[in-house]
Amino acid sequence: MISIKNVNQFYGGTQILWDLNLDIKPGSCTCIMGRNGVGKTTLLKCIMGLLPVSSGEILLQGEPLQKKKAEYRAPAGIGYVPQGRDIFPLLTVEENLKVGLPVRKDGAKEIPEKIFELFPVLKEMLQRRGGDLSGGQQQQLAIGRALVLEPKVLILDEPNEGIQPNIVKQIGDVILKLNKEEGLTVILIEQKLGFARRVGEEFRLMERGRVVASDRMDNLSEELIRQYLAV
Amino acid sequence: ADTIKVGVLHSLSGTMAISETTLKDTVLMMVEEQNKKGGLLGKQLEAVVVDPASNWPLFAEKTRELMTKDQVDVIFGCWTSVSRKSALPVLEELNGLMFYPVQYEGEESSKNVFYTGAAPNQQAIPAVDYLMNDLGVKRWVLAGTDYVYPRTTNKILEAYLKAKGVAAEDIMINYTPFGHSDWQSIVSDIKSFGSAGKKTAVVSTINGDANVPFYKELGNQGISSEDIPVVAFSVGEEELSGLDTKPLVGHLAAWNYFQSVESDANDAFISQWKAFTGNPDRVTNDPMEATYIGFKMWTQAVEKAGTTDVDAVEQAMIGQETENLTGGMAYMNKNHHLSKPVLIGEIQDDGQFEVVWETEGVVPGDAWSDFLPGSKDLIADWTAPISCGNYNTVTKTCSGQNY
Amino acid sequence: MSSLLSNFMSFSRINGDSKVAPFVVVLLVVTALASSCNLLMPEDSVFYVSTYTITLLGKYLCYAMLALAVDVIWGYCGILSLGHGAFFALGGYAMGMYLMRQIGDRGVYGNPELPDFMVFLNWSELPWFWQGMDQFWVAMLMVLLVPGLLAYLFGWLAFRSRVTGVYLSIMTQALTYALLLSFFRNEMGFGGNNGLTDFKDILGFDLQSDNTRVTLFIITALMLSGLLVLSKKIMQTRFGKVIVAIRDGESRARFIGYRTENYKVWLFVYSAMIAGIAGALYVPQVGIINPGEFSPINSIEIVIWVAVGGRGTLVGAIIGAILVNYAKTKFTAIMPDGWLFALGAMFVLVTLYLPKGLMGLVAQLKDRQLQNVNNRPNDKAEEGHA
Amino acid sequence: MRYINAICACLLGLLISTSVLAASPSEAQQPLLLELTEVKLNKALPVLQQLETTEGADMLALFKTMLNGDLYYEKETRRLIAALKEQSVTRYSDLFSGEVLSDLSKKQVRKIKVNNKLRGYLGEAIARMQLNHPDSAVRKDAVRSLFSDLGSNTITLIRDARLKEQSRSVQEAMDVALALYRARHAEEATDRLQAIKDLEGSLEPEVRNQLTQLAENDPSRSVRKAAQTGLDKIDQQAEMYGFINQLFFGLSLGSVLLLAAIGLAITFGVMGVINMAHGEMIMLGAYTTYVVQLMLPNMIEYSLWIAVPLAFMVSGLAGILIERLVIRHLHGRPLETLLATFGISLILQQMVRTVFSPLNRQVATPDWMSGSIEINPLLSLTLNRLYIVAFALLVFMILLIVLKKTSLGLNVRAVSQNRDMAKAMGIRTDRVDAMTFGLGSGIAGIAGVALSQLTNVGPNLGQAYIIDSFMVVVFGGVGNLWGTLVAAFTLGVANKFIEPVTGAVLASILVLVFIILFIQKRPKGLFPQKGRAAE
Amino acid sequence: MSILDTTREVMRRDQVWPFLQDHSQDVDISHQVLLYVEGLNLSFDGFKALNDLNLYINDGELRCLIGANGAGKTTLMDVITGKTRCDSGTVYFGQSLNLLEKDEAEIAQLGIGRKFQKPTVFEAHTVMDNLELSLKSNKSVIPTLLATLNSEEYDRIDHVLETIGLKAERMMLAGSLSHGQKQWLEIGMLLMANPRLLLVDEPVAGMTVQEGERTAELLTSLAGERTVVVVEHDMEFVRSIARTVTVLHQGSVLAEGTMDEIQNNQDVIEVYLGEAP
Ligand SMILES: Nc1ncnc2c1ncn2[C@@H]1O[C@H](COP(=O)(O)OP(=O)(O)OP(=O)(O)O)[C@@H](O)[C@H]1O
Ligand SMILES: Nc1ncnc2c1ncn2[C@@H]1O[C@H](COP(=O)(O)OP(=O)(O)OP(=O)(O)O)[C@@H](O)[C@H]1O
Ligand SMILES: [Mg+2]
Ligand SMILES: [Mg+2]
C-alpha cells in the first residue's frame, strides 16, 4: 500500500531520517514503535507532505507521492490523526468534521452518521469549539475528522495519549473494526505494548531514524523490546 | 561653476505632494524658458530637485544638502509654514536665498527669504471687506484647520471684524484636524448658525484635502452660495480640478491671481504651461504665479547685481518690479513681501473662477499684522539703516535676533 | 563549564550570533574619523567631511537608537509597539522646550520669557509645564521621565489587564495618534503644527557652529554605543532570559512564578527612555520638533528598520535604521519622483528574501562557512516566533 | 432660499420648452435688455428689477438662464442667447425665439456674468413668478423661498395666489408667509397675537427668527409672552430633531468606518495578515470609479453601478496578485506581513501618483445621490449618506453570508488556525488564501467606490483610512465580523455626540483615549474570542 | 465612609500599613491538610465543568486523580493555579492562604508547581536555560536582573539534567526536542522549582512503558517531602504509584479510595475503566 524507499530527512542541518525503508501491506494494521525522538512523527509528516524529504521515494499504491503537494494527499486517500491532535481550536466540533467533506468522493454534504456511531460524545458536543474540548474528546474528534475523508489508509500518531481506559479500548475496537471489517489500512504509532499487541498485525521498530526491525506482531520478542524500547 | 544652480525644495511625495508637485514643475518650466533665452549672466541654469517628502525635519536637511552639497545659488520651495520654519534656520546659518510662493500667516520676515505669496492683509482682509460691503454679510463663520495659518488669520479677522462693530455672538470660530473628512455636524452647525435671519458667510482657511469633503457636504445639505457663501483662501484652480464643481458655483476665493483673468501675459503663461506639461487640461493657480514672479524678479536681480552672491542679490531684489500675470506690476518691498492686487472670484461650473471684485491698485504685503497686539508696532525693513526683519517702531529697536 | 560561559553560549544560540563589541568599535572609529575629518581637514580636501554629512550621520544614529529601543521590546519580548515614535517625540519635545527657553529674548518678538508662538497666541505667562525647562538638568530629567512615566502608565494599564498581541500594538498606535492630535492643538502650548524650532544654542554653545554639531554627533555615537552595550548586557542576565521566555510563553513564565507584567512594564519603560534620549539628541541636530514625529506612520517605519536589520539582534536594528535612512536619503536625491518605488520594493524584497533581516543573512553565511569547515551539521532550529 | 437649488434642478428640464414658448420682448423691455449686456456687474441689479416689473414678455426664461450662468449675448448684435452645455460641446439658441444658432462660435459670444447678489435676487424673482406654476411642489418651494424676503409686493402676490390655491400643503406654506408678514408688520397687538397663533406648528427657521424678535422687542407684553411660548415649543422640537440628526450623523460616520474596515476584518481579522496596503485597495476602488466616469462620461447616473463590480474586480485582482507574489511566502510570519505590505502600499501610492498625477481626481456624484430628503425644516437627511449607510449594511450582510454559508468561510478559518492540518485535510490552502485575500481586497475596493462620493480621490486616500480601520477591527475584536459592525457604529456615534461639545479635534482624541481605556477592560475587544484556544 | 475615617483607618497605630506588611506568609499545615478545595463550581457557557467539587489533599501525600476525559481534572488544576477563575467555592493552601485571591505568579511563588497536559517549555531557550529559569529564587525584577548561577545551583541543574536524561541535549533549543523529551524537560522544570505541591497532568503520555516506570519512581521518591497530585489515564502507571486515588466525574468526586477499591467500584468501571481489567 505504502512503501518508503531510502528516505532522508533533515531539520536544518540535523538529519533525522536516515535511508529509511518501510513497507505497509494493504489491509494491514502496522504499529511503528521506538523510543522518544527516534523520528516516528517525522516519518508520518513526511508521508503527509508536511515536511519535505531531501531524498528517497514514497509510494502510495505504487504511485509516487512526493511530487504531490500536501493538500492532494488527503484526496489520494490518506487520513491523518496527528500527535497532539491538532484540532482547529476555534471551529466547532461540527465545523471541524465538515472541513473534510469536500474531499469525499460521494460529495456528501452532511457528516456521515457512522462517525457519531463510533464516537457518540461528538454528537453531544457538536456545537462546542474544538479547542474547548478535553484532551480525550479532542482525540476522538481527530479520529472522526480523519474518517470523514473516507481514507484508504489511516495514519494515527499516538492516538491513546491521554485517553481514559474505556475509550482507549473503544478506540482499539474502532481501529480493529475499520481494519478488519472495512479493510482499511492502518498505520499506528504506539508506545503502549499492550495496545499495540491487541490491534497491530505487524510492527516496525525504529531507532535513530532507521527501521531496525519489522515483522509480524506475534514475533515481537522481549529481546527486541529490551533493545529498542527500553531505556 | 559653469552653471547657476536653482534648488527646488518641494514635496513630491506624502501629503503635500498634491499641491507642491505643480510648483516643482513650474520652476522647471521657468528654468527651461530662461535657458532658451540664453541663461543668466551668460551661464545656463541648472535645476536641482530634491524631495523632502512632506516631512518637516527633512526640509531642513534637504536645504542643507542643497546649499552645501549641491551649492545652489537660490532655492524655490516650501509650501506649509512649518516646512518654511524648518528650513529657515539653515538658510540663515548658511546665508542662502529662498523664494516662498504661498499665502501664509505673516509674522515673519527673514533676510534670506522672499515671500511672494499673499500675507493676510493681501487676502483675508480684502475678502472680508468685500463680503461685508458688497454682500452685506452680518454673521461670520471662521472655519479653519487647526494650525498656525488659520489661527493667525482668524485672529486677525476676529480683531478686524470686532473693530468693524460685529458682535461676538455673530462670529463662530471652528477648528478641525488635518484631513478632516466628516463634516456633517459642522456643516449642520453652520446651517443653523446661518438661519438666524442675518446674512451669513463662511471664511474658510480649511486646508488641503479637507476641502473636498467639506464642499461636498455643503452641497448635499443644500447650502448654496446664495444662502451662505464660502470664501476660501486655500482653494484654487488646482484644488477645484479634483472636485465636481457643480454644487459649488458661486462660492468665493480670494487670491492675487486667477487663471481666468484675461491678459496677454497670462494667456502666454497658460499656454506655455500646458505645452510644458503636455496636458491641455492642466490649470494654473496663484502659487504658480507667485513662483513665476519670484523667479522673474530673481533673474532681474541677478542681472542687476551681476552676480548670484546672496547678499548682493538680496539688496538688488528690493524694489524690483515685474509684470503680474493679471496685469499691473508686482513690486518687491523692503520687507521682502510683494505689492500685488487682490482679486475675489466666484467658482464657476467649469472649475474656474470668475473675478467679481478686485482692489483698486496693488496692496503691499504686510509682514507684521496691524491687528495683532504683539506685532502691530513691528515692521520689517531690509534696507539700511534699519536692516531688520522685526523692527519695533515704538522702542526703535530691532527686537530679538539680529541677522 | 563555567556558568558565565554557559550564559553567553545560551544567549548566542537564542538570538543569532550578533557581536556587539566589534560593532561598537567600528561605530566609534567611524565617529572619530568623521569628526576629525570635519574639524581638522580643510574644506577643499578630499578627506573633508561636510557638516551636512555630520548632521546626517547624527540623525541616523538617533534613529538607530530609536530602533534599538524598539528591538529591545519587540525582538526580545515580542511586544510590537507601533507607537514608539511617541516616546521619541516626547523626549524631543523636552529637549526642544529647553532649547526654546534658551532663545530668551532673541526671538522675533523679543520677549525674554515667552517663546514666540506664545506671544503670537497672546499668552501672558508660561504655562506650568514650561516652568523650569530653562534649566538643563530639569530638561534632561524630563527627557527620561516623561517618556518613562507615560510608558509606565500605559504599560501598567495594558500589561496588567493582559492586553497582548495586535491589541497592544494597535493601542500603542492609538496612543501616538492621540498625542499627535493633541500636540497639533495650539491650546496645548507646544506650538501646534509648527512645533518648536529656530533654536539658538545649547548650554551656551552655538548650535550652528561646527564644533557643537560634531560634539553632538560624538555624544550621540557614545550614547548609542553605551545603550547598545547596556541593552546587550541586560539581555544576557537572567532578566533577559525571562524576557525572552515571556515572549515565547508568557503564561508558562507566570506559572513558574514570574510576575510577567512587571517585567514587561520595566522593559517598556527602559525602551521608552532610550527612545526619549534618542529624541532629545535628535532635536538639536535637526533643528525642529513638531507633532509630525507622533504620526503613526513614523512609528511603523521604525519597526520596519528593525525588521530590515533583523529583529532580536540589537546590532541588526541599528544597522537596519542606518541603512534604510541612508537609502531614503540617497533615493530621494537620485530619483525624487520614484524613490517610493525603490523603498517599497526594498521592503518587500527584504521580507521575502531575508526573513531574518540582514543579521539573518550574516548568520546564514557564517553558518554555511562553519558547515563547510567543520562539516558538522549545525543546529539552526530557530523558529520564527511571532 | 436653500430651496432654490431644488427649483433649479427641476427647472432645468423645463428650460428649453419655456424658452421656446416665450414671446418676444416689448418696446419697454428692449432698452433694458440691451443695457443688461453693457452694464457693470455691480450695477446690474436695478436693471433686472426693472425687467421684472416692466410689462411685456415673460422674463422667467431670461432669469432662469441667467441664474444657471448660461446667459450669453452675441457680441455684434447684442442679441441675448442661451447656451446649452452638453459635455464638451456648447450649443447656442436665441433666448426668446428658441431658434438654434448653430453657426455661432465661442469667439462671437460673451457671457453675461452673475454674482451671488444677483443670484439671490434672481432666485427670489423666479420664485415670485412661479407662484402660479402648475406643479404644486414647485409652488410650495417658491413660497418657502420667499419667507426671508416678504416685501409688500411679494405679499400681494402671495395673497392673490392664496385665493386660487388648491393644494393643501401649498396653502399652509402660504398661510405661514402671510402670518409671518402680519407678525412683522401688523399694528395691533391682537393681530400679532393672532399671527403668532397661526404660526404655531411651523418649524421654519424664519418663523423662529420672527418669534425671537417678537419675544425680545415687541412692545406688548402678551405678544412677547406668546412668542416666547411658541419659541419654547419650537426649541423643544429642535432639540429632539437635533438628537435624531446627530444619531444619523453618527450612523453615517459609522457606516463609513464599517466600509473602510470590513475588508480589513477579513485580511487581518480572519487571515491574520497585518495588511498595511488595505488603504491602497480602497484607493484603487476609488480610482476605478474615476476611470469609469472618465470612460463613460454620458453615464454618470449609472457609473456607480458599473464601478462597484469593477472595483471589486480591480482591487480583488490586485489583492490576489499581492497574495500570490508576496504574502504566500510569509505564512507563519504574520509580523513580516506588516513590513511587506507597507512596502506594497508605498509602491501603490507612488504608482497612482505616476499614472494619475499627484492631484486629486474629480468624481461626480450622480443626481440620485445628491441633495437630501427633507423630513421637516429642522431635519433633513442627506441622500448620499443614506445610501452609504444602506450600502454598508448590504455589503456586511453579503460578506457574512459568504463567510458563514459557503465552504470558503470554513476553509479560511481552518487554514488560519492550523495551516498544516488544513493541508492534511485536503484543503487547497493556496487557493483559499488567494481567494480570501482577494475577497478582502475586493470589499475594500467597493468601499473605495463609496468613499469616492464623500471625499478626495487622491493618492493619500488610503492613508486617511488605514489607522481608523485597524482601530475598528481591533476594537470590535479580531476575527469577529459582528464586532467590526458594532465597533464601527459605536465609534461613529460616540464621535458625533462628543463633537458638538468639544469640537472635532478633541472629539477624535477622546474617542482614541476611550478605545485605549476600553481595551484595558476588555483586552480582546468588544466581542472577544472565547474559550481555551483563544489564550 | 468619610475621608477622615478612611485616614484614621489607614493610620491605625496598632497595625502596619498593608503595603509594608510581610507577605511571605508560610503555609500553615497544622491540620496536616495542604490543600482544601470546597464547593467548587465552574461553568462555561452553561456547561458545568466543575460541579460542587470537594477535595482535600494531605501534606506529603501522593494522590492520583483519574476520571473520564472531560471530567474536569485539568480545569481543577487551572483553578488551583489561578489560570481560571471559578464561579463559586473556596480553595485554601494550608489553613490560611486563600488561593482564589492570588494570581498565577503568586501561587507559583507559594510553592505550587505545575506540569501541563500538553508540554509547554520555552522553545527558544536551551534546555539548560529552561531549567535555570525555573530555579527557585527571588523572582521579582531587580533580583532577577542581578542574578547569576552559583555553583550550588549549577550542580543542581546538572543533577536534574541527569534525572531527566537530557544531559546530552542541554544546549539544544527546547523547541527542537521531541514530544517525549519535552515532557521530561517539563518535569525537570518542576524539580528545579522545588515546590511544596506538584500538580502533574498526564506525565507519561507519549512515553514508553519503561520511561513511564522511571517517572513513577521519580514521583514516588518526591512524595513525602512534597505533596504530589498526579492526573493520569495509564492504569498501569497509576497502580504503580498510587496510594489514594480520587475519581472525578462530570465535575465532582465520584469515588475515592485505594487503587483496589476504585478498580472494583461499579460506578468507576462503568464510566471510566470499562469492564474490569
Ligand atoms: N522542528 C524541529 N527542529 C529540529 N529538530 C526537530 C524538530 N522537530 C523534531 N526534531 C527532532 O527530531 C527528532 C525526531 O522527532 P520526532 O518528533 O519525529 O520524534 P518521535 O519519534 O515522534 O518522538 P516522540 O515519541 O517523543 O513523539 C527528535 O530528536 C527531535 O529533537
Ligand atoms: N475555556 C473553556 N471553555 C469551554 N469549555 C471548557 C473550557 N475549559 C474546559 N472546558 C470544558 O470543561 C470540561 C472539562 O475539561 P478538562 O480539560 O478539565 O477535562 P479533563 O478532565 O482534564 O480531561 P482529559 O483527561 O481529557 O484531559 C470539558 O468538557 C471541556 O470541554
Ligand atoms: Mg512523536
Ligand atoms: Mg486534562
Q: Is D418 on the interface with A (CB under 8 A)?
A: yes
User: Could you give the count of Cα atoms lying within 13 Å of D401 in the half-sphere of its Cβ?
Assistant: 5
* Percentage of residues of chain B with pLDDT beyond 70: 99
> pLDDT by residue (tens digit) across D177-188?
888 888 888 888
CA nearest A141: which of A131, A153, A150, A151? A131
Q: Looking at domain D248-534, which of 3.40.50, 1.10.3470, 1.10.150, 2.50.20 is its CATH number?
A: 1.10.3470
Closest CB to A100 among D417, D425, D534: D425
Measured CA distances, B323 to B187, B330, B339, C360, D68 (Å): 40, 6, 11, 62, 35
- Give the C-alpha separation, D340 to D484, whole Å: 25
Give the closest-approach CA distance of A99 to chain D in angstroms. Answer: 7
pLDDT band with cut points at 50, 70 and 90 for residue D102 = confident
CA nearest C246: which of C67, C81, C385, C69? C385
- Give the C-alpha separation, B182 to A37, whole Å: 61
Q: Which of A9, A10, A14 to mutate to test the interface with C (most CBs of C within 10 A)?
A: A14
- For residue C289, the model assigns a pLDDT of 92
pLDDT, one tens digit for every residue, chain B (403 residues)? 689 999 999 998 888 888 899 999 999 999 999 999 998 999 999 999 998 988 888 999 999 999 988 899 999 999 988 899 899 989 998 999 999 999 998 888 999 999 999 999 999 999 999 999 988 899 999 999 888 888 889 989 999 999 999 999 999 999 888 888 889 999 999 998 988 888 899 999 998 778 888 988 888 888 888 889 999 998 889 888 877 887 788 899 999 999 999 889 999 999 999 999 998 888 999 999 999 999 999 999 999 999 999 999 999 999 999 999 998 899 999 999 999 999 999 998 888 998 888 888 899 999 998 888 878 888 899 988 888 888 888 888 887 654 4
Paired residues of E47 in beta bridges: E44
- Give the C-alpha separation, E213 to E219, whole Å: 10
- Give the C-alpha separation, A201 to A28, whole Å: 7
| pLDDT exceeds cutoff 50 at C382 | no
**pLDDT, mean of residues E17-41:** 72
Measured in residues, chain A has a length of 231
- Give the C-alpha separation, D206 to A28, whole Å: 94
User: Could you give the count of Cα atoms lying within 13 Å of D179 in the half-sphere of its Cβ?
Assistant: 24
- For residue C14, the model assigns a pLDDT of 40
Ligand 2 mean position to E220 CA, how many Å?
Answer: 27
Phi-psi bin for D384: left (phi > 0), alpha (psi -120 to 50), beta?
alpha
**pLDDT, mean of residues E194-222:** 84
Domain ranges, residue C204: 2-385
Using CB atoms, list chains with 3+ pairs below 8 Å to chain C.
A, B, D, E
Phi-psi bin for D426: left (phi > 0), alpha (psi -120 to 50), beta?
left
Looking at this protein, which amino acid is placed at residue E51? N
> pLDDT by residue (tens digit) across E187-204?
899 888 888 899 998 888
**pLDDT, mean of residues D474-500:** 92
Measured CA distances, A51 to A43, B14, B206, D53, E204 (Å): 9, 45, 59, 93, 27
Residue A145 near residue A97, CB atoms below 8 Å: yes
Chain D segment 244-303 residues within 8 A of C by beta carbon are 268, 274, 276
- For residue C89, the model assigns a pLDDT of 96
pLDDT band with cut points at 50, 70 and 90 for residue D23 = low
Q: Would you list the DSSP string of B258-304?
A: -TT---HHHHHHHHHHHHHHT-TT----HHHHHHHHHHHHHHHHHHH
Q: Which residue of C has its CA nearest to A15?
A: C377
All cell numbers assigned to E234: 495509564
* Paired sense of beta strands A55-60 and A63-64, if any: antiparallel
CA nearest D64: which of D112, D142, D119, D145? D119
Report which secondary-structure segment, H or E, holds A202.
Answer: strand A202-207
Residue found under cell 468693524: B164
Q: Which of C95, C193, C337 to mutate to test the interface with B (most CBs of B within 10 A)?
A: C193
* Paired sense of beta strands A2-11 and A14-24, if any: antiparallel
- Are A71 and D423 inside 8 Å of each other by CB? yes
Residue nearest to atom 7 of ligand 2 (CA): A132
All cell numbers assigned to B332: 518687491
- pTM for the structure as a whole: 0.89
Q: Which residue of C has its CA nearest to E135?
A: C256
- Could you tell me which residues come within 8 angstroms of residue B294 by beta carbon, excluding any fewer than 6 positions away? B76, B99, B101, B114, B116
Q: Report residues whose beta carbon is within 6 angstroms of any ligand 1 atom.
A: A 11, 14, 16, 34, 36-42, 83; C 381; E 176-180, 206
The answer to whether the CB of E117 is under 6 A from ligand 2 is yes
Ligand 1 mean position to D158 CA, how many Å?
Answer: 95
pLDDT band with cut points at 50, 70 and 90 for residue D152 = confident
**pLDDT, mean of residues D3-25:** 48
- Give the C-alpha separation, D479 to D272, whole Å: 9
The answer to whether the CB of E86 is under 6 A from ligand 2 is no
Burial class (CB in 10 A: 0-12, 13-18, 19+), D247: middle
Give the closest-approach CA distance of E154 to chain C in angstroms. Answer: 7
- Report the domain count for chain C: 1
Q: Is B90 on the interface with C (CB under 8 A)?
A: yes
pLDDT band with cut points at 50, 70 and 90 for residue C13 = very low
Chain D segment 161-200 residues within 8 A of B by beta carbon are none
Three-class DSSP category at B364: strand
CA nearest B228: which of D116, C266, C77? D116
User: Could you give the count of Cα atoms lying within 13 Å of B314 in the half-sphere of its Cβ?
Assistant: 23
All cell numbers assigned to D507: 472629539
- Could you tell me which residues come within 8 angstroms of residue D387 by beta carbon, excluding any fewer than 6 positions away? D369
Sign of CA dihedral A171, A173, A176, A179: negative
The answer to whether the CB of A200 is under 6 A from ligand 2 is no
- Give the C-alpha separation, C256 to E115, whole Å: 10
Instruction: Give phi and psi for B120, each to the nearest 5.
Output: -55, -35
| pLDDT exceeds cutoff 90 at D144 | no
Question: Minimum-distance ligand to the CA of A35?
Answer: 1
| pLDDT exceeds cutoff 80 at D529 | no
Minimum mean pLDDT among B98-112, C128-142, E142-156: which range? Answer: E142-156
| pLDDT exceeds cutoff 90 at A163 | no
Q: Which residue of D has its CA nearest to C341?
A: D347
Q: Which of E133, E152, E170, E194 to mutate to test the interface with C (most CBs of C within 10 A)?
A: E133
pLDDT band with cut points at 50, 70 and 90 for residue D15 = very low
Q: Is A99 on the interface with D (CB under 8 A)?
A: yes
Q: Which residues of C touch D349 (CB under 8 A)?
A: 340
Chains B and E touch (3+ CB pairs under 8 A): no
| pLDDT exceeds cutoff 70 at D1 | no
Residue nearest to atom 27 of ligand 2 (CA): A135
Give the closest-approach CA distance of C254 to chain D in angstroms. Answer: 14
| Domain residue extents for chain E | 29-273
**pLDDT, mean of residues A91-97:** 91
Residue D485 near residue D258, CB atoms below 8 Å: yes
Instruction: Give phi and psi for B158, each to the nearest 5.
Output: -60, -45
Task: Classify domain E29-273 at the CATH class level.
Answer: alpha beta
Chains A and B touch (3+ CB pairs under 8 A): no
| pLDDT exceeds cutoff 50 at C11 | no
Three-class DSSP category at A204: strand
pLDDT band with cut points at 50, 70 and 90 for residue E246 = very high
End-to-end CA distance of chain E: 66
- Give the C-alpha separation, D424 to A72, whole Å: 8
Residue D179 near residue D227, CB atoms below 8 Å: no
- Are C287 and B60 inside 8 Å of each other by CB? yes
Chain D segment 442-481 residues within 8 A of C by beta carbon are 463, 467, 470-471, 474, 478
> pLDDT by residue (tens digit) across E60-76?
889 999 888 888 898 99
Domains and CATH numbers, chain A: 2-229 (3.40.50.300)
- Give the C-alpha separation, D512 to B403, whole Å: 44
Residue found under cell 506624502: B14
Paired residues of A216 in beta bridges: A202
D130 or A80, which is more confident?
Answer: A80
**pLDDT, mean of residues D128-146:** 82
